[in-house]
Amino acid sequence: MSALVVAAVVLGVCGAGAVEPVASGVATSNPRVSGRGDPEPSGGAVAVTPLPPRGAVGRWIGTVMMGRALRLNNPYRLSTPLGKTAESVSVTAPYLDLALGWTRGPVGGLQHGSTVGFSSALTGVSQHVVTPAYLALWRPGPRWHARGRLGVPVVLNPDVTTGIETAIAAAWYARAGLGLTAELSGSLFFGAATHERERTAIPLVGLSLGGVVDYEVWR
């Protein structure tokens, strides 16, 4: 009888040593594993993917627009004056304007960069203009942006000349990177001599409408 008692005590002790403590009703050999089976970060912190810093976003901006301008001075007596005399304000030929620019700066803040535009007259005398310019862009929200530029247009033909141009524009986004845009520009071109003047200056005010493509680059 005493031998049976001793055997029972030995089996009870061995069985108790083989059972591992259970925490919160879940048996596990790794206390660092959560209830979902995912390993927890050290110290109990939650892993979060860091966002890029505010100053680390770049943006490609492409525009395709069509426009027309008012020629405020008409030294060449062109055939489209709006007034009663040949020297009156006249309308330029419609033109196609293509531009590609790059800016970099804080998200939601003012970004700086550059752009190159190419304009071509659609009717009348063939004329092509290339305009390198400084570009500033502000996109405070997902649906719109405002931008401005200051550049030096170079007329390639029919006569090579140059000038100065500034413009302000706005865009509304139908999708994340696609939208509609409008631009109001003012420029001053230097033309050839006439019978009245040795050197002419031709100011223009133009309005262009079209589409914009916006591609963000995070670095």
Residue 192 pLDDT: 57
Q: Which of 176, 188, 170, 165 is nearest to 65 (CA)?
A: 170
In angstroms, rounded to a whole number, what is the distance separating the alpha carbons of residues 146 and 133? 16
Q: What is the pLDDT along the chain (219 residues), one digit of tens a residue?
A: 455 444 454 445 444 444 444 444 444 444 444 444 455 555 555 554 454 555 568 999 999 999 999 988 765 555 555 555 555 688 888 999 999 999 999 988 999 999 999 999 999 889 999 999 999 999 988 899 999 999 999 999 888 889 999 999 999 999 889 999 999 999 998 865 544 555 678 899 999 999 999 999 876
Residue 116 pLDDT: 98
Handedness of CA 104, 110, 113, 114 (dihedral sign): positive
Residue 28 pLDDT: 44
Residue 26 pLDDT: 42
Residue 19 pLDDT: 44
Residue 202 pLDDT: 85
68 near 82, Cβ under 8 Å?
Answer: no
Q: Which of 15, 33, 210, 199 is nearest to 119 (CA)?
A: 210
Residue 88 pLDDT: 64
Q: Which domains are seen in the chain, by residue range?
A: 2-44 (no CATH), 57-218 (2.40.160.20)
72 near 206, Cβ under 8 Å?
Answer: no
Helix (H, G, I), strand (E, B) or coil at 83: coil
Name the H helices within the chain.
2-18
Residue 201 pLDDT: 81
